[in-house]
Copies of this chain bind each other. A is one copy, B any other.
Amino acid sequence: MIKLYDLAAAEDDRRFSPYCWRTKMALRHKGLEFETVPWRFTDKDMIAFSGQGLVPVIVDGKTVVHDSWRIALYLDEAYPQRPALFEGSQSRALSDFVGQWAFRVLHPAVFRVVMLDLFSRIHEKDKPYFRESREKRFGMTLEEFASDPKKRVGDLRGTLEPLRPVLVQNKFVSGPGPGYADYILFGAFQWARVMSPIRLLEPDDPVFAWRERMLDLWGSYAREAKGFPVWA
């Protein structure tokens, strides 16, 4: 069975990494069985065998793969007979664009809303590492980064504008069925949902309806994860 090192908060079963969520959804999409191992930011030794210090890391027999994007490519290559994450080379490149947009636009917008809730729920042993690394990245304190959360919710909803017409036309960002681009984007929302009670979306938002469809996949797999129930 595939083993996945999965970022956990203070509680073992609160799993919040948006990148690990991409991988968990991808594994479910492919119908592959897997077990997860709770991991914290400071458990660098535990995944030293992967040659680096971040999750997700999967161990599939003798194969070790790290980085959610590389894992997605690996899964389609190693299991071509199972449902594809990518339709082909064109959708792979376009999904990469979605991932770059998520990294540079969507994630920062979500992070500014949920940061303080998130910080309060990570493991105590991770807090100094988290504060230092994030304050260095943002060039400001966590509290400055997360100030004025009401304005930040509005900013986040603004950044979602390009998604809405696509989700009015299609059930998923990848068309009639979910694909890896959906898991990329869903990871950001699940990251928030697991760690914060703040309401990101209004029920009349096409992105809200899409998130519901994502939460429903595979017997409500993501919905049943420890987190905060979303309005509705």
| Chain A residues with a Cβ under 8 A of chain B | 86-98, 100-101, 103-105, 161-166, 169-170, 172-176, 179, 181
Does B161 lie within 8 Å of A93, measured CB to CB?
no
Does A92 lie within 8 Å of B163, measured CB to CB?
no
Query: Quick one: closest B residue to A105, CB to CB?
Result: B162
A90: B residues at CB distance < 8 A: 86-87, 91, 174-175, 179, 181
Shortest distance from the beta carbon of A227 to any chain B beta carbon, whole Å: 26
Shortest distance from the beta carbon of A164 to any chain B beta carbon, whole Å: 8
Shortest distance from the beta carbon of A72 to any chain B beta carbon, whole Å: 14
Query: Quick one: closest B residue to A95, CB to CB?
Result: B94
Shortest distance from the beta carbon of A217 to any chain B beta carbon, whole Å: 16
Does A175 lie within 8 Å of B89, measured CB to CB?
yes
Does B87 lie within 8 Å of A98, measured CB to CB?
no
Integer count of this chain's copies in the complex = 2
Measured in the bound complex, the distance between the Cα atoms of B129 and A4 in whole Å is 60
Tell me if A's interface is mostly helix, strand, loop or mixed.
helix
Measured in the bound complex, the distance between the Cα atoms of B97 and A105 in whole Å is 14
Residue in contact with A93 in the complex, picked from B86, B100, B103, B173, CB distance below 8 Å? B173
Does A175 lie within 8 Å of B100, measured CB to CB?
no
Query: Quick one: closest B residue to A164, CB to CB?
Result: B100
A105: B residues at CB distance < 8 A: 162
Measured in the bound complex, the distance between the Cα atoms of B175 and A190 in whole Å is 29
Residue in contact with A166 in the complex, picked from B86, B97, B162, B181, CB distance below 8 Å? B97
A97: B residues at CB distance < 8 A: 94, 98, 162-163, 166, 173, 181
A173: B residues at CB distance < 8 A: 93-94, 97
Does A88 lie within 8 Å of B89, measured CB to CB?
no
Shortest distance from the beta carbon of A137 to any chain B beta carbon, whole Å: 15
Task: Identify 19 new A-B residue pairs, CB closer than 8 A, beyond the known A89-B175, A93-B174, A96-B166.
Answer: A86-B90, A87-B87, A88-B88, A90-B174, A90-B181, A91-B94, A93-B172, A94-B173, A94-B174, A94-B181, A97-B162, A97-B166, A97-B173, A97-B181, A100-B161, A100-B162, A100-B164, A101-B101, A105-B162
